[in-house]
Structure 1
Amino acid sequence: MSVDVPRRIVLLRHAKADWAQESDHERPLADRGRQDAPMAGRWLAGAGITPDLTLCSTALRTRETWKLAVHELPQRPKTVYEERMYEASLGELIALLNETSDDVSDLLLVGHNPGMHALADALAGESESDLLPRMNRSGFPTAAIAVLTFNGSWKTVEHGVGRLVAYWSPHK
C-alpha cells in the first residue's frame, strides 16, 4: 500500500465511568456510559467509519465502551488492547501512531482524557468550519469522537499534520 494514500485517525474517548471503589484502571461504565457508548457506535456506522484497526486502552471503562460501540458497526475491526494507552501522554500517543503499519488506512483509538483531546488538538493543523473551536470549547466530553485525516505514512504523524473533519458528542 502506498504511503501517500489518505489516512484517517478516529479518536473515541471512553463513555461516562462510575466512581466506584475500584482502582482507576478497573472503573466500570456508569448507566449513562452504557447508553452513550452504543450511540457513539451508531454515529461511527452512520459516518461510514469502518476502521482497519482499533487500539483500545486496557482500562475497564475503555474496553466496555468499545464492546458496546463495536456492536453497532457493520464489521468488527481487528482490536488490540494496548496497555500504553492508559494514562498516555501526548508524546506517547503520537509514538503509538508512528508505530502503526502502513497497511492500516483507518485507525481508531479508544482512550482517555486529557490524552484524546490533546492528541486531536495537536494533530489538527486545520479543520472544517468551526469544528476545532467547538471541540476545544467542549473539552472533549465522555464518548466524544474526533475524526482527522492526513496523507502519508504513519511514521510522519506529528503536530499539525491532520485536518479535523468531524467532531461528535452524545450530549451537545
Structure 2
Amino acid sequence: MPRLILYRHAKSDWSNPEVHDHDRWLAPRGEDAAQRMAAWIDAERLTPDLILCSTALRTRLTLQALLPVLRGSCEIRLLREIYDASESDYVDLLRTHGGGAQTLMLIAHNPAIHDTARELVVDGDADAMHALAEKFPTAGLAEINLPCEDFSGLQPASGRLVRFVRPRDLM
C-alpha cells in the first residue's frame, strides 16, 4: 500500500514585486517553518523513497531543508510541470511519475496541492480531516495511505488521511 506525503512549500517572500513568481525565495517565517517541518519529518521517520519537487525556488528551498534528515536512498526529481500545473490537481502527475514508490513525497503549490488532497482523501482521522477541509497552509503536510498497488492505479476518493500537520502545530 503506497503512502503519499503532500507537502506544500514554506512561506515565500513577496517583498520584491520585481522577482518572477518562479524565483521567489522563502520568507524568514518560511525558513523557520521548513526547518521545523524537516525536524518533525525526521522524528516521525517519514522518509520517502521518491520526492517529486517543483522547480520553483521556494519548493527547492523547502526541499533543501529536508536533505540533511533524509535516510537511506531517496530519488529526487525536480519537475517544471509541477509548477506549471499549479492551477489544477496533481493526480495525473502522480500517476505518471510515482511508479512503484512505496512512500512518495510531492513538494508543490496551492491551490493544486489542496485540491489533490481533497480529491484523494475519502476518510481518516476526524481532526485531520477537519483541518484539511479548512486550509492547506504553507509548509503544511498531509500523509495519505492509498489502496492501490502502485501510483499508476491512483484513484480519486480512495485515500485515507493518516495525519495533517501544520507548522503551527509544532510550536
Q: Indicate whether the TM-score tops 0.5.
A: yes
**2:7 is matched with which residue?**
12
Q: Structure 1 residue aligned with 2:142, among 143, 146, 151?
A: 146
**2:28 is matched with which residue?**
31
**SS of the residue 2:101 aligns to:** coil
Cα contact 2:100–2:151 (8 A) shared by 1? no
**SS of the residue 1:163 aligns to:** strand
One-letter code aligned to 1:146: A
**1:3 is matched with which residue?**
none
Distance 2:30 2:66 in 1: 11
Q: Report Cα offsets for 1:118-169 as digits up to 9, x if no partner.
A: 11111001112321111122x1111000000012231221210100001101
Cα contact 2:5–2:105 (8 A) shared by 1? yes
Which sections of structure 1, spanning at least 5 residues, go unmatched? Answer: 1-5
Distance 2:34 2:73 in 1: 15
Cα contact 1:25–1:60 (8 A) shared by 2? yes
Distance 1:100 1:87 in 2: 15
More helix by share: 2
Q: Structure 1 residue aligned with 2:166, among 141, 166, 169?
A: 169
What does 1:20-169 align with in structure 2 at a 5 Å threshold?
20=16, 21-75=18-72, 77-88=74-85, 89-91=87-89, 93-100=90-97, 102-137=99-134, 139-152=135-148, 153-169=150-166
One-letter code aligned to 1:32: R
One-letter code aligned to 2:21: D
Distance 1:102-1:59 versus aligned 2 partners, 3 A rule: closer
One-letter code aligned to 2:8: R
Cα contact 2:98–2:104 (8 A) shared by 1? no
Dislocated runs of 4+, deviation >4 Å? none
**SS of the residue 2:25 aligns to:** coil
Deviation at 1:76, TM superposition (A): 5.8
The size of the alignment, in residue pairs, is 165
Distance 1:52 1:159 in 2: 23
Distance 1:127 1:118 in 2: 17
Cα contact 2:53–2:78 (8 A) shared by 1? yes
Which sections of structure 2, spanning at least 5 residues, go unmatched? Answer: none
Cα contact 1:42–1:73 (8 A) shared by 2? no
Paired-residue identity, %: 33
Deviation at 1:79, TM superposition (A): 0.6
Cα contact 2:6–2:141 (8 A) shared by 1? yes
